[in-house]
Structure 1
């Protein structure tokens, strides 16, 4: 009997077609929005492939009684109860590293936008306005200090791009010893968290959402930022206290912020971020480009197919 694979969110069509050559594939990128149908279709599948919106826990996890593997089209695993899944014998496979370049480029691009402050003036200029004086006070990136909180693959690639532009890079990662050779190899100086916040001109977050990191960037820590510093969050929304960030922006204590992730997604109406100044908001797309989608999808298609073949060989 052909093994079935269920894909609940968007995936590169070529990777879907690749899987369909050897498996019975049900691909519906909108299925995540129909939970009752999702539960029904999950019964009996050998593999589930998701992005970040499908919550693989509780009822859905229980419905995966025949499944052997969960493929995650991305790297964060907070939407999957990994311990419970592995306890049921499911292998959880993230697309580690495949979207790192997309996220790193987002970090640099938003840092440029927020430091310069002039690149969103097209509407005004096209309307005949000439805000030259107001927009002539923007800053350059060269010579500034980028502080990375989390120094995994995305943080390391962000550092490489930043150093190529003439930024000094410092980083905090409690999982990496200050004496590790990685720091010298990357040309990055390790820092304690409080020291980093007081030194960096741009702070970029690259860490998972855990009980220990929830609201890590709260009002007290925002008060430790350099005046005029920029915050970029492409990690997980729960790491930042959004109300405290909005207050810091409105008070002019920060130079700006770029958020790609939020505590609740989509961002709810009435969010304190709605009227905060110098703020770029994007809908969880920092790691999603045409190129990264191809890489992520191909990696997960290969890994899921290999895991299912391995499980079949063991069963035989």
Structure 2
């Protein structure tokens, strides 16, 4: 096996969980280095990695084209590649791969977070905490139960399926929205759990009849950027919107206006079109919004299982084998894989 130089574009996964610690454990056959976001371009030239892990850092064409010839694989530690110019990688002979959400604990972690946002919004967690903090009389706040409510899960990929499985048994009417309405219900979902599957074209009709709409749709900048915009938000009838997919799916200005006019009653967002979300964004202070910092999948479970899948791909690449969950196939790859 060839010894790889692996560069992470952020110094740690989370507090207490550094990337470089992997170099003495699961990636002990390789040389692991991590740098801060402002040192990426400099470290690319000095370290000359074989594998680059973007994490949150954007990899536009300008960076890809100046990368050293040693770079043969961009391997995301996670699912999202919207911050990576995959076409530029392909043009420059660089393989690109992600990790599967289902097998790494990412889907389970994100699904738990989705339910957290549903409960926090329905039980008005912010307002309830303020009652205690401000010494207001108890019993002055009424929450909303999930029992008997209708929820639309938009997207039946790994995360959407994990959400449905967690909501099963809560006494909710669960409907789904997916691109291929005629596809079989994914394995792991009990028969009858989803009462009906709708097409994406029917999304306006669906959101108008639901108490909650949860977005778990795969993002494609060319196909569905700002899918949730002014027109769609106008159909919500005061219901709750939750996004744990990608920020580019949502027109944030349109969402804010819908919250102001009451079309959307509440919103829970873990992702944003530009991250971090500007501190001046009006969503930051809206009383009917709960924001979290794209940390739905950042859990001990994902770190533990994700590192194993990541190491397998690094070892495959080092041995000249095709990596799992690749998203491109360069015509003239810098490294031949078979």
Using the size of structure 1 for normalisation, the TM-score is 0.88
Q: Which of 141, 146, 151 lines up with 1:141 in the alignment?
A: 146
Which of 222, 225, 237 matches 1:211? 222
Question: In terms of mean alpha carbon deviation, does 215-224 or 190-199 score higher?
Answer: 190-199
Give distance in 2, aligned partners of 1:7 and 1:49.
Answer: 5
The structure 1 residue matched to 2:52, chosen from 48, 53, 57, is 48
1:95-150 residue CA offsets vs partner (Å, 9 max, x unmatched)? 212200111011111101111214653343144222422x12x1101121111221
| Separation (CA, whole Å) in 1 of partners of 2:80 and 2:241 | 20
Q: Root-mean-square deviation (CA), in Å?
A: 2.5
How big is each residue's C-alpha offset from its partner over 1:215-270, in whole Å with a ceiling of 9 and x where there is no partner?
11111100111x23111111111211111111111222322101111121111232
CA distance in 1 between counterparts of 2:91 and 2:43 reads 22
Relative distance call for 1:64 and 1:103 in structure 2 (3 A) is farther
Distance 1:45 1:118 in 2: 46
| Structure 2 partner of 1:32 | 37
User: What's the CA shift for 1:67?
Assistant: 1.9
Which residue matches 1:309? 319
Superposition deviation, residue 177 in structure 1? 3.5
In structure 1, which of residues 174, 193, 198 is the aligned counterpart of residue 203 of structure 2? 193
Structure 1 pair 84/140, CA: closer, same or farther in 2 (3 Å)?
A: same
Does structure 2 retain, via aligned residues, the 8 Å contact 1:231–1:257?
yes
Match of 1:59 among 52, 57, 62: 62
For 1:163 and 1:73, how far apart are their aligned partners in 2?
29
The list of structure 1 runs, each at least 4 consecutive aligned residues, that deviate by more than 4 angstroms after superposition, is 183-186, 311-315
1:241 to 251, 256, 261: 251
TM-score (norm 2): 0.82
SS at match of 1:274: helix
Alpha-carbon distance change, 314 to 86 in structure 1, aligned in 2, over 3 angstroms: closer
Give 1:269-284 correspondences, 5 Å limit: 269-284=279-294
Partners of 1:39 and 1:59 within 8 A in 2: no
**8 Å CA contact 1:249, 1:277 repeated in 2:** no
**Alpha-carbon contact 2:9-2:40 (below 8 Å) kept:** no
